[in-house]
Protein backbone atom coordinates (compact mmCIF):
# COMPACT_ATOMS: atom_id res chain seq x y z
CA UNK A 1 0.00 0.00 0.00
CA UNK A 2 0.95 3.61 -0.53
CA UNK A 3 -0.21 6.47 1.69
CA UNK A 4 0.49 10.15 1.12
CA UNK A 5 -0.68 13.10 3.19
CA UNK A 6 -0.30 16.82 2.51
CA UNK A 7 -1.32 19.68 4.78
CA UNK A 8 -0.47 23.37 5.21
CA UNK A 9 -1.90 23.94 1.73
CA UNK A 10 -3.21 27.23 0.35
CA UNK A 11 -6.01 25.84 -1.81
CA UNK A 12 -7.49 23.33 0.66
CA UNK A 13 -7.01 22.30 4.28
CA UNK A 14 -5.55 18.86 3.62
CA UNK A 15 -5.23 16.19 0.95
CA UNK A 16 -4.43 12.51 1.34
CA UNK A 17 -4.16 9.47 -0.92
CA UNK A 18 -4.35 5.76 -0.18
CA UNK A 19 -3.48 3.33 -2.96
CA UNK A 20 -3.18 -0.44 -3.27
CA UNK A 21 -2.34 -2.57 -6.33
CA UNK A 22 -4.66 -5.27 -4.93
CA UNK A 23 -2.13 -7.99 -5.72
CA UNK A 24 -4.57 -10.80 -5.07
CA UNK A 25 -6.24 -9.87 -8.34
CA UNK A 26 -3.78 -7.61 -10.17
CA UNK A 27 -0.10 -8.09 -10.84
CA UNK A 28 0.75 -4.39 -11.24
CA UNK A 29 -0.40 -0.92 -10.23
CA UNK A 30 -1.68 1.11 -13.17
CA UNK A 31 -3.30 3.99 -11.29
CA UNK A 32 -1.51 7.33 -10.88
CA UNK A 33 -2.49 10.59 -9.22
CA UNK A 34 -1.50 14.25 -8.97
CA UNK A 35 -1.68 16.77 -6.12
CA UNK A 36 -0.45 20.31 -6.83
CA UNK A 37 -0.94 23.25 -4.48
CA UNK A 38 -0.23 26.84 -5.57
CA UNK A 39 -0.98 25.63 -9.07
CA UNK A 40 0.78 27.83 -11.62
CA UNK A 41 2.32 29.82 -8.79
CA UNK A 42 -1.09 31.12 -7.71
CA UNK A 43 -1.91 30.98 -4.00
CA UNK A 44 -5.31 29.40 -3.42
CA UNK A 45 -5.17 27.37 -6.64
CA UNK A 46 -4.99 23.59 -6.49
CA UNK A 47 -5.04 20.73 -9.00
CA UNK A 48 -6.07 17.22 -7.94
CA UNK A 49 -6.42 14.20 -10.22
CA UNK A 50 -6.64 10.40 -10.38
CA UNK A 51 -5.80 8.46 -13.55
CA UNK A 52 -6.69 4.78 -14.01
CA UNK A 53 -4.71 2.98 -16.69
CA UNK A 54 -5.83 -0.09 -18.61
CA UNK A 55 -3.87 -2.36 -20.92
CA UNK A 56 -0.74 -0.94 -19.33
CA UNK A 57 0.23 2.05 -17.17
CA UNK A 58 1.92 4.15 -19.87
CA UNK A 59 -0.96 6.53 -20.58
CA UNK A 60 -1.78 7.00 -16.89
CA UNK A 61 1.87 7.79 -16.22
CA UNK A 62 1.94 10.32 -19.04
CA UNK A 63 -1.22 11.96 -17.67
CA UNK A 64 0.34 12.26 -14.23
CA UNK A 65 3.43 13.84 -15.72
CA UNK A 66 1.92 16.08 -18.40
CA UNK A 67 -1.81 16.78 -18.21
CA UNK A 68 -1.62 19.54 -15.59
CA UNK A 69 0.98 21.35 -17.71
CA UNK A 70 -1.31 21.21 -20.73
CA UNK A 71 -4.17 22.47 -18.57
CA UNK A 72 -2.14 25.43 -17.32
CA UNK A 73 -1.06 26.27 -20.87
CA UNK A 74 -4.71 26.20 -21.96
CA UNK A 75 -5.63 28.60 -19.14
CA UNK A 76 -2.92 30.96 -20.33
CA UNK A 77 -4.07 30.69 -23.92
CA UNK A 78 -7.63 31.55 -22.90
CA UNK A 79 -6.38 35.15 -22.58
CA UNK A 80 -5.60 35.48 -26.29
CA UNK A 81 -6.44 38.89 -27.72
CA UNK A 82 -7.23 39.86 -31.28
CA UNK A 83 -3.55 39.98 -32.18
CA UNK A 84 -3.14 36.39 -31.05
CA UNK A 85 -0.81 37.46 -28.24
CA UNK A 86 -1.03 35.73 -24.89
CA UNK A 87 0.48 36.04 -21.46
CA UNK A 88 2.94 33.40 -22.61
CA UNK A 89 4.69 36.11 -24.63
CA UNK A 90 5.22 38.36 -21.61
CA UNK A 91 7.56 36.14 -19.66
CA UNK A 92 10.09 33.35 -19.81
CA UNK A 93 8.52 30.11 -18.59
CA UNK A 94 10.36 27.16 -17.18
CA UNK A 95 12.07 25.58 -20.21
CA UNK A 96 10.99 22.07 -19.34
CA UNK A 97 7.36 23.19 -19.17
CA UNK A 98 7.62 25.22 -22.37
CA UNK A 99 9.50 22.75 -24.56
CA UNK A 100 8.32 19.35 -23.37
CA UNK A 101 5.88 18.33 -26.10
CA UNK A 102 6.60 14.62 -26.36
CA UNK A 103 6.02 12.27 -23.48
CA UNK A 104 8.13 9.24 -22.73
CA UNK A 105 6.42 7.02 -20.23
CA UNK A 106 9.68 5.18 -19.53
CA UNK A 107 11.01 8.32 -17.81
CA UNK A 108 8.23 8.25 -15.24
CA UNK A 109 9.04 6.52 -11.99
CA UNK A 110 5.46 6.06 -10.83
CA UNK A 111 3.63 2.76 -10.94
CA UNK A 112 4.75 -0.16 -12.93
CA UNK A 113 4.38 -0.70 -16.69
CA UNK A 114 2.42 -3.57 -17.93
CA UNK A 115 -1.04 -4.75 -18.75
CA UNK A 116 -4.22 -4.33 -16.74
CA UNK A 117 -6.32 -6.85 -18.62
CA UNK A 118 -9.42 -5.54 -20.34
CA UNK A 119 -10.74 -9.06 -20.67
CA UNK A 120 -10.99 -10.68 -17.26
CA UNK A 121 -10.80 -14.13 -18.81
CA UNK A 122 -7.32 -13.48 -20.22
CA UNK A 123 -4.19 -14.39 -18.33
CA UNK A 124 -2.73 -11.43 -16.45
CA UNK A 125 0.98 -11.03 -17.26
CA UNK A 126 3.64 -10.86 -14.58
CA UNK A 127 4.47 -7.33 -13.40
CA UNK A 128 6.71 -5.52 -10.99
CA UNK A 129 5.59 -4.12 -7.63
CA UNK A 130 4.22 -0.63 -7.23
CA UNK A 131 6.50 2.38 -6.99
CA UNK A 132 5.68 6.06 -6.43
CA UNK A 133 6.86 9.16 -8.21
CA UNK A 134 5.36 12.24 -6.64
CA UNK A 135 8.65 14.09 -6.18
CA UNK A 136 9.76 13.54 -2.57
CA UNK A 137 7.72 10.47 -1.75
CA UNK A 138 10.60 8.04 -1.88
CA UNK A 139 12.46 9.98 0.81
CA UNK A 140 10.17 8.76 3.57
CA UNK A 141 9.46 5.08 3.09
CA UNK A 142 8.60 2.72 5.92
CA UNK A 143 6.76 -0.57 6.29
CA UNK A 144 3.70 -0.34 8.49
CA UNK A 145 1.19 -2.85 9.69
CA UNK A 146 -2.45 -2.02 8.94
CA UNK A 147 -4.64 -4.42 10.84
CA UNK A 148 -7.71 -3.27 8.89
CA UNK A 149 -6.32 -4.39 5.53
CA UNK A 150 -6.58 -7.89 4.14
CA UNK A 151 -4.07 -7.38 1.35
CA UNK A 152 -1.04 -8.64 3.27
CA UNK A 153 1.27 -6.32 1.32
CA UNK A 154 3.91 -3.97 2.72
CA UNK A 155 2.86 -0.36 3.01
CA UNK A 156 4.66 2.89 2.37
CA UNK A 157 3.48 6.03 4.14
CA UNK A 158 4.59 9.44 2.98
CA UNK A 159 4.18 12.92 4.42
CA UNK A 160 5.43 15.61 2.07
CA UNK A 161 6.19 19.27 2.50
CA UNK A 162 3.97 21.72 0.65
CA UNK A 163 5.62 22.33 -2.69
CA UNK A 164 4.67 23.96 -5.96
CA UNK A 165 5.34 21.66 -8.90
CA UNK A 166 8.66 23.00 -10.27
CA UNK A 167 7.72 21.94 -13.78
CA UNK A 168 5.00 24.60 -13.95
CA UNK A 169 6.44 27.13 -11.52
CA UNK A 170 6.78 30.56 -13.14
CA UNK A 171 8.99 33.50 -12.34
CA UNK A 172 7.83 36.42 -10.21
CA UNK A 173 7.18 38.68 -13.22
CA UNK A 174 4.79 36.19 -14.75
CA UNK A 175 3.11 35.41 -11.44
CA UNK A 176 2.47 39.09 -10.75
CA UNK A 177 1.23 39.77 -14.27
CA UNK A 178 -0.97 36.70 -14.39
CA UNK A 179 -2.43 37.29 -10.92
CA UNK A 180 -3.26 40.89 -11.78
CA UNK A 181 -4.99 39.87 -15.00
CA UNK A 182 -6.95 37.13 -13.26
CA UNK A 183 -8.09 39.51 -10.51
CA UNK A 184 -9.40 42.04 -13.02
CA UNK A 185 -11.79 39.68 -14.80
CA UNK A 186 -14.88 37.76 -13.79
CA UNK A 187 -14.25 34.07 -13.24
CA UNK A 188 -16.88 33.19 -15.84
CA UNK A 189 -14.67 34.82 -18.48
CA UNK A 190 -12.11 32.06 -17.96
CA UNK A 191 -14.61 29.42 -19.15
CA UNK A 192 -12.68 26.70 -17.29
CA UNK A 193 -15.01 23.98 -18.54
CA UNK A 194 -14.05 24.82 -22.12
CA UNK A 195 -10.41 25.00 -21.03
CA UNK A 196 -10.71 21.45 -19.66
CA UNK A 197 -12.19 20.23 -22.94
CA UNK A 198 -9.35 21.85 -24.88
CA UNK A 199 -6.82 20.40 -22.45
CA UNK A 200 -8.15 16.86 -22.78
CA UNK A 201 -8.10 17.09 -26.56
CA UNK A 202 -4.54 18.47 -26.68
CA UNK A 203 -3.23 15.93 -24.19
CA UNK A 204 -4.74 13.01 -26.08
CA UNK A 205 -3.00 14.28 -29.20
CA UNK A 206 0.35 14.33 -27.41
CA UNK A 207 0.28 10.66 -26.45
CA UNK A 208 2.74 8.73 -28.64
CA UNK A 209 0.76 6.28 -30.74
CA UNK A 210 3.08 3.42 -29.81
CA UNK A 211 2.25 4.04 -26.13
CA UNK A 212 -1.49 4.31 -26.61
CA UNK A 213 -2.39 1.91 -29.40
CA UNK A 214 -3.87 -0.73 -27.11
CA UNK A 215 -3.50 1.05 -23.78
CA UNK A 216 -5.43 3.91 -22.25
CA UNK A 217 -6.51 5.66 -19.07
CA UNK A 218 -9.58 7.17 -17.53
CA UNK A 219 -9.25 10.51 -15.76
CA UNK A 220 -10.93 12.63 -13.14
CA UNK A 221 -9.42 16.10 -12.65
CA UNK A 222 -10.42 18.80 -10.17
CA UNK A 223 -9.28 22.42 -10.18
CA UNK A 224 -9.89 24.69 -7.18
CA UNK A 225 -9.30 28.42 -7.38
CA UNK A 226 -9.86 31.37 -5.06
CA UNK A 227 -11.07 34.44 -6.91
CA UNK A 228 -12.58 37.69 -5.66
CA UNK A 229 -13.57 36.19 -2.35
CA UNK A 230 -15.09 33.09 -3.94
CA UNK A 231 -13.81 29.53 -4.04
CA UNK A 232 -14.63 27.73 -7.26
CA UNK A 233 -14.43 24.01 -8.01
CA UNK A 234 -14.19 22.83 -11.61
CA UNK A 235 -14.14 19.15 -12.55
CA UNK A 236 -13.69 17.10 -15.71
CA UNK A 237 -13.72 13.36 -16.27
CA UNK A 238 -13.66 10.63 -18.87
CA UNK A 239 -14.35 7.00 -18.05
CA UNK A 240 -15.58 5.64 -14.75
CA UNK A 241 -13.27 7.27 -12.23
CA UNK A 242 -15.40 9.49 -10.06
CA UNK A 243 -15.42 12.63 -7.91
CA UNK A 244 -17.91 13.19 -5.08
CA UNK A 245 -18.49 16.44 -3.20
CA UNK A 246 -19.73 15.97 0.37
CA UNK A 247 -22.19 18.78 1.05
CA UNK A 248 -24.01 18.75 4.40
CA UNK A 249 -23.12 15.05 4.77
CA UNK A 250 -24.76 14.21 1.45
CA UNK A 251 -22.95 13.15 -1.74
CA UNK A 252 -23.06 15.38 -4.80
CA UNK A 253 -21.96 13.56 -7.95
CA UNK A 254 -19.50 15.73 -9.88
CA UNK A 255 -18.67 13.27 -12.65
CA UNK A 256 -20.35 10.95 -15.14
CA UNK A 257 -19.61 7.25 -15.51
CA UNK A 258 -18.82 6.77 -19.20
CA UNK A 259 -19.69 3.13 -19.72
CA UNK A 260 -20.70 1.39 -22.98
CA UNK A 261 -24.00 0.34 -21.40
CA UNK A 262 -25.16 3.94 -20.93
CA UNK A 263 -27.79 4.65 -23.58
CA UNK A 264 -26.19 7.83 -24.91
CA UNK A 265 -22.77 6.21 -25.10
CA UNK A 266 -24.11 3.06 -26.79
CA UNK A 267 -25.86 5.22 -29.38
CA UNK A 268 -22.71 7.24 -30.03
CA UNK A 269 -20.61 4.10 -30.52
CA UNK A 270 -23.23 2.53 -32.78
CA UNK A 271 -23.48 5.68 -34.89
CA UNK A 272 -19.71 5.58 -35.38
CA UNK A 273 -19.96 2.01 -36.70
CA UNK A 274 -19.02 0.14 -33.53
CA UNK A 275 -20.90 -2.28 -31.32
CA UNK A 276 -21.24 -3.29 -27.69
CA UNK A 277 -20.67 -6.91 -26.68
CA UNK A 278 -20.48 -8.25 -23.12
CA UNK A 279 -20.88 -4.64 -21.91
CA UNK A 280 -17.65 -3.66 -23.69
CA UNK A 281 -16.85 -1.71 -26.84
CA UNK A 282 -16.12 -4.31 -29.53
CA UNK A 283 -16.20 -6.80 -26.67
CA UNK A 284 -12.89 -5.42 -25.35
CA UNK A 285 -13.04 -2.03 -23.61
CA UNK A 286 -15.17 -1.56 -20.49
CA UNK A 287 -15.26 2.27 -20.69
CA UNK A 288 -16.54 4.41 -23.55
CA UNK A 289 -14.30 7.46 -22.99
CA UNK A 290 -10.60 7.49 -22.24
CA UNK A 291 -7.19 8.80 -23.23
CA UNK A 292 -5.27 6.63 -25.68
CA UNK A 293 -6.90 3.42 -26.95
CA UNK A 294 -6.02 4.48 -30.49
CA UNK A 295 -6.80 1.08 -32.00
CA UNK A 296 -10.50 1.84 -31.47
CA UNK A 297 -10.38 5.63 -31.30
CA UNK A 298 -13.31 6.15 -33.67
CA UNK A 299 -15.52 4.67 -30.94
CA UNK A 300 -13.75 5.94 -27.80
CA UNK A 301 -14.09 9.64 -27.03
CA UNK A 302 -11.77 11.89 -25.02
CA UNK A 303 -14.41 14.63 -24.63
CA UNK A 304 -14.91 15.18 -20.87
CA UNK A 305 -17.97 15.67 -18.75
CA UNK A 306 -17.48 18.91 -16.80
CA UNK A 307 -19.02 20.65 -13.79
CA UNK A 308 -18.62 23.99 -12.04
CA UNK A 309 -19.48 24.77 -8.41
CA UNK A 310 -19.03 27.69 -6.07
CA UNK A 311 -17.85 26.16 -2.80
CA UNK A 312 -19.63 27.15 0.41
CA UNK A 313 -19.20 26.46 4.13
CA UNK A 314 -21.43 23.41 3.67
CA UNK A 315 -18.89 21.77 1.34
CA UNK A 316 -16.48 19.85 3.55
CA UNK A 317 -14.95 16.96 1.62
CA UNK A 318 -13.99 16.01 -1.94
CA UNK A 319 -13.52 12.32 -2.75
CA UNK A 320 -11.65 11.45 -5.96
CA UNK A 321 -11.19 7.78 -6.73
CA UNK A 322 -10.91 5.15 -9.45
CA UNK A 323 -13.50 2.46 -10.10
CA UNK A 324 -11.68 0.13 -7.70
CA UNK A 325 -13.55 2.09 -5.03
CA UNK A 326 -16.84 2.76 -6.80
CA UNK A 327 -17.36 -0.79 -8.07
CA UNK A 328 -18.05 -1.88 -4.48
CA UNK A 329 -18.93 1.33 -2.58
CA UNK A 330 -21.89 3.58 -3.38
CA UNK A 331 -21.72 7.35 -3.06
CA UNK A 332 -23.94 7.26 0.04
CA UNK A 333 -21.87 4.49 1.62
CA UNK A 334 -18.67 6.45 1.05
CA UNK A 335 -20.04 9.48 2.89
CA UNK A 336 -21.37 7.34 5.72
CA UNK A 337 -18.00 5.64 6.18
CA UNK A 338 -16.01 8.86 6.61
CA UNK A 339 -18.42 11.54 7.85
CA UNK A 340 -17.36 11.20 11.50
CA UNK A 341 -13.62 11.14 10.79
CA UNK A 342 -11.50 14.28 11.05
CA UNK A 343 -8.34 13.45 9.11
CA UNK A 344 -8.13 13.08 5.33
CA UNK A 345 -5.60 10.27 5.67
CA UNK A 346 -7.93 8.28 7.93
CA UNK A 347 -10.75 8.85 5.46
CA UNK A 348 -8.84 7.62 2.42
CA UNK A 349 -7.51 4.58 4.31
CA UNK A 350 -10.99 3.73 5.55
CA UNK A 351 -12.44 3.81 2.04
CA UNK A 352 -9.56 1.76 0.62
CA UNK A 353 -9.76 -0.90 3.32
CA UNK A 354 -13.54 -1.13 2.98
CA UNK A 355 -13.19 -1.61 -0.78
CA UNK A 356 -10.72 -4.45 -0.27
CA UNK A 357 -12.93 -6.13 2.31
CA UNK A 358 -15.94 -5.67 0.00
CA UNK A 359 -14.24 -7.69 -2.72
CA UNK A 360 -12.82 -5.09 -5.11
CA UNK A 361 -10.78 -6.88 -7.78
CA UNK A 362 -9.13 -3.82 -9.32
CA UNK A 363 -6.28 -1.46 -8.49
CA UNK A 364 -7.51 0.99 -5.86
CA UNK A 365 -6.62 4.67 -5.52
CA UNK A 366 -8.59 6.97 -3.25
CA UNK A 367 -7.89 10.67 -2.72
CA UNK A 368 -9.68 12.66 -0.02
CA UNK A 369 -9.47 16.46 0.06
CA UNK A 370 -10.63 18.48 3.06
CA UNK A 371 -12.02 21.71 1.70
For residue 183, count other CB atoms closer than 10 A to its CB: 9
- Cα 220 off chain centre by: 4
At 158, the pLDDT band (50, 70, 90 cuts) reads low
Average pLDDT over residues 264-280: 96
Query: In the prediction, which pLDDT does 213 show?
Result: 85
Query: In the prediction, which pLDDT does 212 show?
Result: 77
At 177, the pLDDT band (50, 70, 90 cuts) reads low
pLDDT tens digit sequence for 59-71: 999 999 999 999 9
For residue 181, count other CB atoms closer than 10 A to its CB: 13
pLDDT tens digit sequence for 18-74: 999 999 999 999 999 999 999 988 899 999 999 999 999 999 999 999 999 999 999
- Residue ranges and CATH numbers for the domains of the chain are 2-370 (3.60.40.10)
Average pLDDT of the chain is: 80
Res. 102: pLDDT tops 70: no
Query: In the prediction, which pLDDT does 190 show?
Result: 72
Res. 325: pLDDT tops 50: yes
Looking at per-residue pLDDT, the higher value among 8 and 95 belongs to: 8
Q: From CA 168, how far away is CA 98, in angstroms rounded?
A: 9
H-helix segments, the chain: 58-77, 95-99, 172-184, 187-190, 192-206, 209-212, 263-271, 323-326, 331-338, 344-357
Amino acid sequence: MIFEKRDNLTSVKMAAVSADPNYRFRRAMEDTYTIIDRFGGQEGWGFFAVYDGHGGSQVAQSAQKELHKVFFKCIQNSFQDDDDNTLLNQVQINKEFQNENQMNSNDNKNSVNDNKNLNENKEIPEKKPIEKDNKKQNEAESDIDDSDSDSGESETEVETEVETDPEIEVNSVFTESFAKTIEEIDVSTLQINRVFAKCYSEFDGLIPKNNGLNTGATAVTCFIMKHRGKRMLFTANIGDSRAILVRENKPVMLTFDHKPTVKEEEERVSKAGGFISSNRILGLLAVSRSFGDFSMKEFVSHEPFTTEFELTEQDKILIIACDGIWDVITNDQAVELIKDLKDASQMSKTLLNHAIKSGSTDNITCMVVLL
